[in-house]
Amino acid sequence: MQVEIGNAIVELIEGDITRQAADAIVNAANSALIGGGGVDGAIHRAAGPELIQELEPFRAQGGCPTGSAVPTSARRLPAKFVFHAVGPIYGHGGPDVAADLASCYRTCLHLAAERYLISISFPSISTGAYGYPLREAADIAIDTVCTFLVEHAGASLRQVFFVLWGDRAFAAYAEALVGWKAEQVE
């Protein structure tokens, strides 16, 4: 499923983010930047052991705060960069958990724009082990990304992929994208 937003295409894909060609792949990382399970583990395995070494300077500075992201090269992945975004743990983030999740997406979009990238691939951040309700997270992700694309139509980004694992995630993001687009028409 794809929809034109601003000067870009937002495309939903069910599959493995480590196989999605894009200028940047977003990793759903933990704040310690030490690798983990889910998307984080898959990205580290596919990129190779050098990726964890490249994160060492960030770990030495205390890691990455929730709602932010740090860039590395992509190593063996079909991309130029990996943006390691730290999403909130649902139920432990206080009242700003939605703002923290939106900040992950916004930070990665700014990192892409600063590097004049054409394409970026996002997973569904915080919806795995971090427990964020899928439909709520999809609404936040779609709203943040689409609003950015409209407000920054002159930026270099032309393709934004959401690479989603499973039918349930795809359906939640599809519903959010259709809903966002419908709101813009009203």
Cβ-based burial of 49 (10 A; exposed 0-12, middle 13-18, buried ≥19): exposed
> Can you say whether the dihedral through the CA atoms of 113, 114, 116, 120 is positive or negative?
negative
Name all contacts of 33-37 with Cβ < 8 Å and 24+ positions apart: 33/58, 33/59, 33/63, 33/64, 33/70, 33/84, 34/59, 36/129, 37/128, 37/129
**Bridge partners, residue 163, by sequence:** 13
Find tokens 């990726």 and name the residue.
51
40 labelled catalytic: yes
Of 16, 23, 40, 100, the catalytic one is 40
Pair of tokens at residue 72: 């590395």
- List active site positions: 40
